[in-house]
Amino acid sequence: SAQSMRAASPKVMLVNGSQTMDRLVNLPDGRRGGGDGADGGGGIDAEGSSDGCYSVLKSIMFFFNGIFWLLGVATFSVGIAIHTDREFRVAVAGYVPGAGTGASIFIVVGVAMVTTGFLGCCGAIRESQCMLLSFFVILSAVFTMLIGAGIWAAASKDQLSALLSGELERRVATYSTDLASRDIMDTVQNLFECCGAQHGGSDYQRRGLEVPSSCARRFRSKDGCYHRISDSLVANLARVTGTGVSIAFVVLLGMVLSMMIFCNLRDLQSHQHGPHGVRRRQP
């Protein structure tokens, strides 16, 4: 019996030593143990650094989604204001035909932005690759539409000017017969301190109409509302362009952040499951 135990002890020690070495060499999280080199303690430090970067990415993602959510609320509020505030809607309709449709677009875009912000935030919190990928796809579509709208506005500048001029001429011609035209022109003339469409009070007089009371005497000899509105748009062009560029930058930042977190999660899951898709045993 004693001889059998002595004969078996080397095998037991060999098995136990093999298991111990296996645990040291192949740690459950994929790191290699047994030393302070690149395959030992250095791997632990690298993982800690990676976790720190990942936490920073998630924090930036939360901050971004807060900004994006606020932009969505602002856009939604503008749409509601156009839809419910008569004076604001009339003023906008003077140089943006179809303000009612515009209000609906603002409302829909605002709701989409708010929903997208929540989607990105939840995707980061729950570490859901599906939600983060959906967030990226939505932002990509928004970014593409922003670029397309900017190109279309630049290419259609002359058409927009002709559209504005024709709309003002039509409103002046129907001032005495159409209540909506009267409300629009009164609001525009008071807001921009102008009169008529192109040539001031004479635009009414040559049509046999009395110059409106909203067209104050000090405005009658000045330029028409077309020139005033055009000058206002040119004066605020830098502000409008800056706003568009800022929105595009925020959207692009969200795309980059979501894709970085998505790739980080994918690499982490691949690391946990090993090279062959088999989940590593936890100790």
Distances (CA, A) of 99 to 95, 130, 171, 174, 242: 9, 37, 15, 19, 23
Crossing angle of the two packed helices 41-84 and 99-126, in degrees rounded to 10: 160
In a domain, residue 193? The reply is: yes
Evaluate if residue 137 carries a pLDDT over 70.
yes
Residues 70, 54, single domain; the answer is: yes
Distances (CA, A) of 134 to 25, 55, 113, 139, 140: 39, 21, 13, 9, 10
pTM (2 decimals)? 0.54
> Which residues, at least 6 apart from 165, have a Cβ–Cβ distance to it below 8 Å?
197, 198, 226
DSSP at 206: T
Instruction: With H, G, I as helix, E, B as strand and everything else as coil, classify residue 38.
Output: coil
- Position 235, amino acid: A
Residues 52, 122, single domain; the answer is: yes
Residues 240, 221, single domain; the answer is: no
Mean pLDDT of 140-161: 80
**Range of weakest confidence among 56-60, 71-75, 122-126, 270-274:** 270-274
- Whose tokens are 């602002």? That residue is 74
Q: How confident is the model at residue 232 (pLDDT cuts 50, 70, 90)?
A: confident
d(CA 175, CA 64): 48
> Which residues, at least 6 apart from 244, have a Cβ–Cβ distance to it below 8 Å?
146, 150
- Number of alpha helices (DSSP H) and beta strands (DSSP E) in the chain: 10, 0
pLDDT in tens, 14-51: 344 444 444 443 444 444 444 444 444 444 444 555 56
d(CA 266, CA 275): 13
Residues 259, 217, single domain; the answer is: no
Residues 265, 130, single domain; the answer is: yes
Residues 91, 171, single domain; the answer is: no
In a domain, residue 29? The reply is: no
Residues 100, 119, single domain; the answer is: yes
Evaluate if residue 172 carries a pLDDT over 70.
yes
Closest Cα to residue 107, out of 135, 82, 142?
82
Instruction: State the CATH number of the domain containing residue 217.
Output: 1.10.1450.10
Residues 198, 80, single domain; the answer is: no
d(CA 165, CA 258): 45
Instruction: With H, G, I as helix, E, B as strand and everything else as coil, classify residue 156.
Output: coil
Evaluate if residue 75 carries a pLDDT over 60.
yes
d(CA 71, CA 64): 11
- Whose tokens are 């093999």? That residue is 18
**206: exposed, middle or buried (C-beta count within 10 Å: 0-12, 13-18, 19+)?**
exposed
Query: CB 33: neighbour CB atoms within 10 A?
Result: 15
pLDDT for position 53: 75
CA dihedral of 107, 111, 112, 113, whole degrees rounded to 10: 100
Q: Are 194 and 222 in contact (CB under 8 A)?
A: yes
Evaluate if residue 56 carries a pLDDT over 60.
yes
Q: Of 66-70, 89-93, 108-112, 135-139, which one has max mean pLDDT?
A: 135-139
**Range of weakest confidence among 26-35, 49-58, 77-86, 179-188:** 26-35
pLDDT for position 281: 46
Compare 132 and 223 and report the one with higher pLDDT. 132
Residues 66, 138, single domain; the answer is: yes
- Whose tokens are 């000017």? That residue is 161
pLDDT for position 37: 42
Q: How confident is the model at residue 99 (pLDDT cuts 50, 70, 90)?
A: low
pLDDT in tens, 113-127: 888 888 887 787 777
Q: How confident is the model at residue 94 (pLDDT cuts 50, 70, 90)?
A: low
Q: Domain residues for 170? A: 160-233
pLDDT for position 29: 45
Q: What's the domain count of the chain?
A: 2
